Structure formats: structure tokens, C-alpha cells
Chain A
Amino acid sequence: MTLDLMREKGIPLDEQGFSWRELVGRPYSKLDVDAFTRVRVILMNGIESEQLRFLHSAARMNAHLRESLAVVRRIEQHQQTLVNWLNPADQSPLETTLGYEQVAIEVTAEIAQKEPDPYLAQVHRFGLLEDFDHLYRYAALYDRLEGGDANNITQCYTDIRPGRPTAIEHRHPLDDLRRPYDRKAADPISKLHAYTLVAGEHQTHDYYMHVGPFFTDPVARQLYAEIASIEEQHVTQYESLIPTDESWLEKWLLHEACEVYNYWSCYGAETHPRIKQIWERLLQQELGQLHYVRALLEDREKRDASEVLPARLPDPIRYETHRKFVRETLQREIDLRASGTEIVPKQKDPPRSREYRERLNRDGSPSETVAAGYVWRPGTELAPRALEASRQQRSLQ
């Protein structure tokens, strides 16, 4: 399966409107949906959210593009609404959080395996092990605060166990920056990977910053504060992979290509018939936007868009369990740290990061507190204890 970016024209911009009824459709069922449908909804909301963020930044810096940006941005905002409103209201912020971490694990694992550049792949694996730990910490919170079983959200696709401990993920800002890819030499898929991951991480950061204060429990408030800080580190990391010498229009075109690539991947993988139709519609819209921006780039910068875009999209993102890869990575790389732009053994953990971490954790570590002694069990950690208590009671009768 492939998609020819130059031939597929999609829907023209002026035919891309929505009604409120279309934007606010029927959400998926939290109980019946496949976990990967939820993963796709969350990721695509992140992709749209990044698009909106980028287009606003572009408008502040490019007077000559303001009108074009305003037109496309409005459509993007409505697309994001359509996607984000697919999340059901009975899925609590904490349950949605578990979905966010599953996105970060499974999508990053997929990307890390397909990434052709060894340095970028290592950076992706580095981030992967940190998000992997977050799922375990939030699963502990869900179990111990709300009495919930995180696996009802992740559906056995993703392990729930410690990764690189969140408490040691805190680093000095200068140890979160990475080397950017070479805009002229990089494989197009490397660019799409970086754009996808920065989008996912940025929305995760923003989501945790938004929902964290809704919790009354100080343990939960602390945990969201702590993990939001790591997500900010991850945004710093993935953002720094994208070179600053891409022009604004080049970046815009790559953002559009990233949207096309992701909607196309979602469309191919989707098992939910109604949501599959949504991916198809949005894919067609994004293709229309891509060609609009392509024409802008060619007109304003007198460049051929094929310098920026691949003729055909690379293989789509596979939405499937990456358990084996994650476990192998965990075994090999759990002890890695970052020093400046490099991923290094823990013996080379820079003093500035150690000091930064020690200061943050000096009154206790939220992620260690919430998961102290926690091992996920089917039906929650209480399930085996409850069975034991029940058996003991019966034996006394």
C-alpha cells in the first residue's frame, strides 16, 4: 500500500467545511473500542493540535502568509474538534492519560524500529523507555486512587511494568537537546517521524498541564506535575531534532505531509467502520491542504516541492503491539542517560543533571510514592488479596 503525494489531490480547500453536527459526532465506546482506535484518536488530536500551534507561530512571524495561514488554520481547528470529540465523556482524564501513554509507547516503538538514521533511532528509543515507565506510574495511580485496572484501557497490547524510573528522567535542560537531522540529506521518513513525535509529546504535556489541577488527591497532583515536566523535556528533545534552517513554508509543507501520512496510516489500520470513514475524509482534506501549501511554496520560494516531499509516502505506521521490541530495548538501554546531545552510559550522567534531579526530588519523588511496591495484576492489585481474604474467611466458617 502506498500513496502518491503528487497525484492524489484530495478535496479542494473551499469544499472542506463542517457543520456543528458533523464536528460533534458520536464518540467511541470506552468499553467496546479496540485500544488502537483510542490510540489513533489521541495521536491525531495531537497532530492537529501541533498543526494549530505551528500555524499560529507562523502567522506571528510571516506577514505575507497571514491570510493563507488563517484559512487553513480554521479548517485544522475544526478537524481537531472532530477528532478530539470522538473521546467519550465516561473516559475519565486518568483513563485518557493511560491512553496517552500507550500512544507514546506503541507509536514511538514503531517509529524507533523504522527509523533509518541510527542516531535518531537511539533518541527515539531513549524517549520510549521513559514513557513506558509513565504508564506504570499512572496505572498505579488509577488502581490506588480510583480502584481501576489500567489493562482495561491498554487491553494487553502493552506491558505495565517499570521502565527507566521517572524519578531519574529529570535532566538539566541542556541535556535534553539533541542534534537535528540534516534537512537536505535526511530520509523523508526521518522528518515525518520527528514531526509526529513532537506533536504527540506536546499534546501530552499540554493535556497533563490541563487536567492535573482537576485532581483533588495530592499524590495525583504531584504525579501529573512531575510527568508533565518530563513531557516538556521530551518536547525539547524531539523539537530539537527538527532543524531551524527549514524555511517557514518548508516546515508548513512538512506539517501537512505529516498529517497526510498519519491520517493515511490511521485509515489503513482502522477497524472501527465509522471512524475509518472519518480518517478517510480527513485524509482527503489534508491532501487538499498539502497541495495548497505546495503551490504556495513553489510560488513564493521558487522551489520545486519535490525537494521537500517524498513522491510516495513511506510504509504506514503499524498499529500493533511492540512488546518484544520494548522488552529488548528495556533490557539493553534502561541505564542510558543523556549528556548534551548524546545518549551515554549512566556513568557519564552529567553532574548538572544529577544536581537538577536531586533538587527536584529532595522532598520525595511523586512517581516513586505512587508506585511504591506496585505490581499490576489483572483486576487490580487488590484482586488477589481479595480472593485470599475471601478464602480465609470461608476456611474459618
Chain B
Amino acid sequence: MKTAEDIGTNRTGIATSPLEAPQVIAGAEQGGSSPGDESALAAARTAYVREAEPIGSVPPPVSLKGAVKTVAQALKGEKASVFIDKLGERLAFERAGVRLYALAMVKAETGPRWDGAPSVADLAGIQRDELEHFGLLQECAKELGADPTAMTPSADVAVNLSKGIPAVLADPRSDLRHCLEGLLVAELSDNAGWEALASLARELKQDRMAEQFERALEQEQDHLRRVKEWLREGVASVATGRNAEKGEQPRAH
């Protein structure tokens, strides 16, 4: 079975065209360049940055009653909307996380696998945690008078930052190892995100929420540890040719 680790006809890289490469290199050298230097790009970008408008705004609370008032008081003049924004970020991330694990489960089912690879049930267990976290964040948002269906600016940024992950996981050509690389990026970011959110909740005297977030963080730490281990085993197995199973044969090259 051919895999992406096999040596093949990769045509990128200058070395794949020994006859034409000297030509294209000499051509570029002889062709010179456009006038000026690279600082022109920074100058153009700076001009746009100076007149840029924000990505968007935090939606107003559905109700000013309840906890959002408490949050506002705790902040003593600071923006309560920061908490809503970051809550929205985590909510969007957890919701997308459920979908990421669903994509990875397809690859766990179809192989190739190795000793120490996650089973579909392993991934489904984490997916369940992500779903619960999404639910928890919906409840928290409502408690604060915020709309859990809204997309906050930080949610938008987070989704844009990680949009390569579902793309790689959904690609029929990526295997379980590639998917774990994607899950690793997601879990690393998720861990840091929960840490920051729990810390912010503490600062805002939202202790009950902070405790719930810290419990979620513990689960995320476990996810991260397991994903790292699965991935380490997966890469080692293909590098050494050991532990191969389900159609993945050791290769000698």
C-alpha cells in the first residue's frame, strides 16, 4: 500500500530539474529586480493598518440583568465584553473541535494503523468531551446574558487561525498521522485557551465558572498528552517499520 512516506516522483525542488535548473537560476540573476527594496511592503501594509477598521464587534448582551452586571462591576470600568468575546472564542473552538474529531475518526477507521494508534472509540471519547465543553460554554454565555449563537471577533480570529486543520483532516489523501498533527495543533491552542479563560474568570470573580473551566482544562491536558503519544508512536512506527498492521507493511528504503 502506497503511503505519503514513500519515495516517489516529487517534482518540487530545484534538484529535480538538473538540466533546466542552471537556466532558471541564471535567468533570474540576469533579469535583475524591480526597483527598491523589501521595506516597500511594510510601508504599504502600515498605511492600510493605520486606517483599518476593527474586524467586528462583540454583540450586545441579550439582557443586562444577571451576571453580566456582576462582571461589569468586577471589572470596575473595564470592558465586560472582553469576557464575552473570549467565551465566544472558546465556544467556537470547542464546537469546531467536535467536527475535527469526527473527521479523524474516519481515518482511524480506514487506517493505516499502528500499535498504540487511537481507536475510533478513543477519538469518540475526546469528541464527547469537546461536545460537553461546547455545552458548558453555551450555558455560561447565557448566564452572562450573552447570545451563544453569535460569532464574536475572537471567535472569528480563532477559526481563521486554525482553518487549515479541518482542511487537512477532511482531505481523503491525509492519513491518521496527518490528522493527529492537526489535532495536536488544535489541542495545544485549546489548552492555552482554557488556561487563559479560567484565569480571566478568576480575575473577574467568576469563581464557579473558573472552577468549571479548570476542570475542562484538565480534560484538555489529557487530550493533549494522548494525542502527542499517539502521534509519537505513529511516526516512530513508520520510521522503524515496527508495529505495522492493517495493510501497513514495513518498507526498506
Task: Please report A residues at the B interface, Cβ cutoff 8 Å.
Answer: 26, 29, 31-35, 88-90, 136-137, 140, 144, 149, 151-152, 155-162, 165, 217-219, 222, 321, 323, 327, 364, 366-379
With a cutoff of 8 Å between Cβ atoms, the chain B residues found around residue A218 in the complex are 44-45, 47-48
Known: A160-B28, A327-B27, A373-B34. A155 touches B41 (CB 8 A): no
A-B contact count (CB 8 A): 124
A368 to B43, CA, bound (A): 13
With a cutoff of 8 Å between Cβ atoms, the chain A residues found around residue B44 in the complex are 218-219, 222, 364, 366, 369
Is the CB–CB distance between A31 and B10 below 8 Å?
yes
How many Å from the CB of A4 to the closest CB on chain B?
35
Known: A32-B10, A218-B45, A369-B41. A161 touches B21 (CB 8 A): no
22 contacts between A and B (CB under 8 A): A34-B11, A90-B168, A90-B171, A151-B24, A152-B12, A155-B17, A157-B20, A162-B33, A222-B44, A364-B44, A366-B44, A369-B41, A369-B43, A370-B41, A372-B33, A372-B34, A372-B37, A373-B34, A373-B35, A373-B38, A375-B32, A378-B25
Is the CB–CB distance between B45 and A162 below 8 Å?
no
How many Å from the CB of B159 to the closest CB on chain A?
14
Is the CB–CB distance between B14 and A375 below 8 Å?
no
Question: B9 at the A/B interface (Cβ < 8 Å)?
Answer: yes
Task: Please report B residues at the A interface, Cβ cutoff 8 Å.
Answer: 8-14, 16-17, 20-21, 23-25, 27-41, 43-45, 47-48, 167-168, 171-173
A162 to B35, CA, bound (A): 11
Chain B residue nearest to A154 (CB atoms) is: B24
With a cutoff of 8 Å between Cβ atoms, the chain B residues found around residue A371 in the complex are 33-34
Chain B residue nearest to A35 (CB atoms) is: B11
Chain B residue nearest to A161 (CB atoms) is: B31
Is the CB–CB distance between B20 and A156 below 8 Å?
yes
Is the CB–CB distance between B28 and A375 below 8 Å?
yes
A306 to B12, CA, bound (A): 46
A179 to B51, CA, bound (A): 45
Known: A323-B23, A379-B14. A372 touches B28 (CB 8 A): no
How many Å from the CB of B165 to the closest CB on chain A?
13
How many Å from the CB of A325 to the closest CB on chain B?
13
Chain A residue nearest to B9 (CB atoms) is: A32
How many Å from the CB of A2 to the closest CB on chain B?
30
With a cutoff of 8 Å between Cβ atoms, the chain A residues found around residue B43 in the complex are 369
With a cutoff of 8 Å between Cβ atoms, the chain B residues found around residue A161 in the complex are 27-28, 30-32
**B27 touches which of A152, A219, A323, A369 (Cβ 8 Å):** A323
Chain A residue nearest to B31 (CB atoms) is: A161
With a cutoff of 8 Å between Cβ atoms, the chain B residues found around residue A140 in the complex are 34
A224 to B111, CA, bound (A): 41
How many Å from the CB of B9 to the closest CB on chain A?
5
> 16 new A-B pairs (CB below 8 Å) besides A157-B20, A158-B24?
A34-B11, A35-B11, A89-B167, A90-B168, A156-B24, A159-B23, A159-B24, A160-B28, A161-B32, A218-B44, A222-B44, A369-B36, A370-B40, A372-B40, A375-B28, A378-B25
Chain B residue nearest to A323 (CB atoms) is: B23
A291 to B131, CA, bound (A): 58
With a cutoff of 8 Å between Cβ atoms, the chain B residues found around residue A156 in the complex are 14, 16-17, 20-21, 23-24
Chain B residue nearest to A376 (CB atoms) is: B28
How many Å from the CB of B227 to the closest CB on chain A?
22
